[in-house]
Amino acid sequence: MTRPLKLLGIGVPLMLAIGTVAYEFVKGAPHLVTLAVAASAAACLGLSVVFLLRSMLLLSGDDSASGSSVGRRRRAVEADISALARTLEGIELDQGIGRVSSSEAAELAAPLRDRVAILEREAELLRGLELEGVDGEIEAEVRERVAARAEGDS
């Protein structure tokens, strides 16, 4: 997202809220809660307009309004890895307290470890792209490269 868009996202709701507060004071001394509710409504209205505007910009071909980034995708993949890591630790705990044997634990963990491996490769690629400063619609490319590697491995 570009700097002017970010500024617009904060500025419009803020201006509307301030305007509403001023209007309420002109009307008469308002109760603090009433004032807060009115200002929040105005700010929400501003926020809604800003999102609508960004949506229009995106439809008209301005990709800077999308807010999509390689960093976000990488963080999402890492969150998935983290969730799988917790499940794997659960299996290790079961093994530790003797609820499952080591062979059973290995068997239970195998598909999860495979999935982690695929996700780690994806995260690695994304980290590389991030370092190179590549941004935008890279989803398809990353997926293709991960799929090709996974195929090669198998």
Partner 1 sequence: LAALGNATIILVLLLSSWATALAIVGGRRGSQRLVGAAELLVHSLAAITSVAMLVLIYGMLVSDYSMSYVHSHSERAMPMFYRVTAVWAGMEGSMLTWVWSLALVSSLAVAANRERLRVMLPQVIALLMSVVMFFGVLMLLHSNPFLPFLGATPMTGKGLNPLLQNPYMVTHPPTLYLGFVGLTVPFAFGFAALLTKQTDDAWIRAARPWALWAWYFLSLGLVLGMLWAYEELGWGGYWGWDPVENAALMPWLVATGFLHSIIVQERRQMFRGWSVVLALLAFVATIVGTFMTRSGFIDSVHAFARSSIGYVFLVYIALLLLAGTVLIVANWRLLKADNEIDGLLSRESVVLVNNWLLLAMTLLVLVLTILPNLSELFLGEKINISVKEFRRWVTPLGLLLLLFTAVGPLLAFRRTRTESLRRQLLWPALIGLVVAGGAGAIGGRDPQALLAWFLATLLCAAVVQELGRAALLRMRGGEVGFIGGLIDQIADNRRRYGGYIVHVGVALMCAGFAGDAFKHKQDVLLTPGQRVKVGDYELRYDGIRVTRDPQKTMVTASLTAYHDKKPVAVMQPARWFFATRPNEPTSEVSIRRSMREDLFIALGRYSEGGKHAGFMVVLNPLVNLVWIGFLVMTLGTLIAGIPVRKRKPRRASAEAKP
Binding site for partner 1 (CB under 8 A): 31, 33-34, 37-38, 40-41, 44-45, 47-49, 51-52, 54-56, 58-59, 61, 63, 65-68, 72-73, 75-94, 96-100, 104, 107-109, 111, 113-117, 120, 137, 139, 153
Q: Is residue 5 a contact partner of residue 65, using CB atoms and an 8 Å limit?
A: yes
- Please say which residue, 2 or 55, places its beta carbon nearer to partner 1: 55
Residue 1 CB, nearest approach to partner 1 (Å): 11
Backbone angles phi, psi at 2, to 5 degrees: -80, 165
- Tokens 């792209």 map to which residue? 129
Residue 32 CB, nearest approach to partner 1 (Å): 10
Residue 111 CB, nearest approach to partner 1 (Å): 6
Residue 18 CB, nearest approach to partner 1 (Å): 16
- Please say which residue, 3 or 31, places its beta carbon nearer to partner 1: 31
Q: Is residue 44 a contact partner of residue 15, using CB atoms and an 8 Å limit?
A: no
Q: Is residue 87 a contact partner of residue 112, using CB atoms and an 8 Å limit?
A: yes
- Please say which residue, 32 or 131, places its beta carbon nearer to partner 1: 32
- Please say which residue, 4 or 90, places its beta carbon nearer to partner 1: 90
Q: Is residue 126 a contact partner of residue 70, using CB atoms and an 8 Å limit?
A: yes
In 2-138, which residue ranges form alpha helices assigned H by DSSP? 3-27, 32-59, 70-96, 102-132
- Please say which residue, 108 or 134, places its beta carbon nearer to partner 1: 108
DSSP label of 2: -
